[in-house]
Amino acid sequence: MKVICAYPANLDAVHNVSGEEISLHCPQVEPGSRESISSLQDLFAALLLCMITGSGEELLIEKEDMARQIEKTFSWRYRLGGNAAIMADVLAHLGAQPVLNAPALSRRMAALLHPGVRVPLGKSLTEPLPAADDQEMLHFVLQFSEGVTVVTPRSRFVTPIDNRLIATYDPLNSRLAAARDFESYCRRNIRDFVGALISGFHLVPYAGFEEIFGQKIEQIQSWKDLHPELYVHAEMGSFQKAVMMERLMKLLPADSLGLNEDELAMVSQLEPGWRSSMDAAAGLRERLGISRVAVHTRDYILSVTKDFIPAEKEVEALAKGAEAAAMVAATGNVSGTAVNQVNPAGQAAAEEFCREGARPWGRGAFQTGDVSRCLVPALLVSRPNFTVGLGDTTTAAIFYQEILAKEELG
């Protein structure tokens, strides 16, 4: 099973935020939304807002010297980052052969990738380490846990849930740069691939986004023209402006779309609860005319599909995604110890779904008709060690199971 993984690949610098250090750094900072980060005050204002609301966000750092200042402000642990790299690593653990776009692949990042990940080098594929060089793209991840108390002269609050703020200075990934060998390899061998996982569009700055989107859309369309059966899933992200996501979704030649609830709210009218998310996903799928829209949240994963795989198989795929994300949250490894505790809010959603006519299947449920609606509760990790990349892990594991189901159907 050969899969394209594009576009972002980078190293994440991770720091677990404590209430004491935020109180120390933010004595005069008011929480507030930011479109980008040009100062430490911008960083802490955005971080405070995320911690107060329990929301996650990803913001671009405007200048390199600001990135260096952030690097000096905290202590960091380094992990594999970038949507494409994380998804490629998960797919390799599951037994697929992911082909990764990596225009900047440092040695320490290459060492974190599963050796089953393949990187085009010249006209052939190689393991990550032989393709590595000295270039390194670094993203700063400030993650916080539920129950952290923050006290400043202006306020006192307790964080409601685990989440993170990502601050990114990454000129390569913000242009969705593609390695030359990657582009040529995919073009020559596109019919060898069963699917493509496409992501990272949210890293593109608003200024000039249409040109960059246009280039990537043209590239993906060329793959589909040469190989119409290629299954393309596009994962969204935290865009600077909703108009960017709207424009992308309208033009992107994807069969499937993935979002979290914050991203779904950017492009749909959304009320709290699983019913509103399910209806919004169904409306978005119909509006775009695609086969599938999926929404992954802290409590559950749901999808709405048409002319896709059997609903039972889709529920099983969603369950595998939930299992993979829980293992990474608990251990940092998709091959780690299994987590069996079901998220109670997700379980309640599945039970309500069944009371409204859905059929139970495994841990989840589905409802068929003109479209298939599927829902699976998330698994609960009470003290997660990692909060970054869980959506990408979920997506990759689901994608793998969907490909297997497609192959069974012939």
Assigned CATH topology for domain 11-80+136-169: Adenosine kinase, small domain (3.30.1110)
pLDDT of 154 over the 80 cut: no
* pLDDT given at position 336: 77
The closest alpha carbon to 397, from 294, 248, 308, belongs to 294
What is the band of 334 on the pLDDT scale with cuts at 50, 70, 90? confident
Average model confidence (pLDDT) across the chain: 93
More confident call, 359 vs 55: 359
Most confident among 54-63, 72-81, 323-332, 351-360 (mean pLDDT): 351-360
More confident call, 303 vs 384: 303
* pLDDT given at position 23: 80
* pLDDT given at position 27: 66
Task: Provide the CA 375 distance to its chain's centre, in angstroms.
Answer: 19
Going by the DSSP 8-state scheme, the letter that residue 133 receives in this structure is B
Distances in Å between the Cα of 346 and the Cα atoms of 51, 299, 343, 378 are 23, 5, 5, 6
- Residue 144 sits at φ, ψ, to 5 deg, of -130, 155
Going by the DSSP 8-state scheme, the letter that residue 379 receives in this structure is B
What is the band of 169 on the pLDDT scale with cuts at 50, 70, 90? confident
- CA torsion sign for 332, 336, 337, 341 is positive
| CA torsion angle 55 261 160 47 (round to 10) | 0
- Domain borders along the chain are 11-80+136-169, 299-410
Helix (H) or strand (E) holding 86: helix 83-94
Residues 351-358 have a mean pLDDT of 98
* pLDDT given at position 100: 98
Q: What percent of the chain has pLDDT over 70?
A: 100
Q: 119 near 103, Cβ under 8 Å?
A: no
The closest alpha carbon to 16, from 193, 134, 186, 140, belongs to 140
Distances in Å between the Cα of 410 and the Cα atoms of 146, 229, 269, 304, 323 are 46, 12, 38, 22, 26
* pLDDT given at position 28: 73
What is the band of 387 on the pLDDT scale with cuts at 50, 70, 90? confident
- Record the tokens describing residue 69, joined without a space: 């200042």
* Number of DSSP helices (H) and strands (E) in the chain, helices first: 14, 20
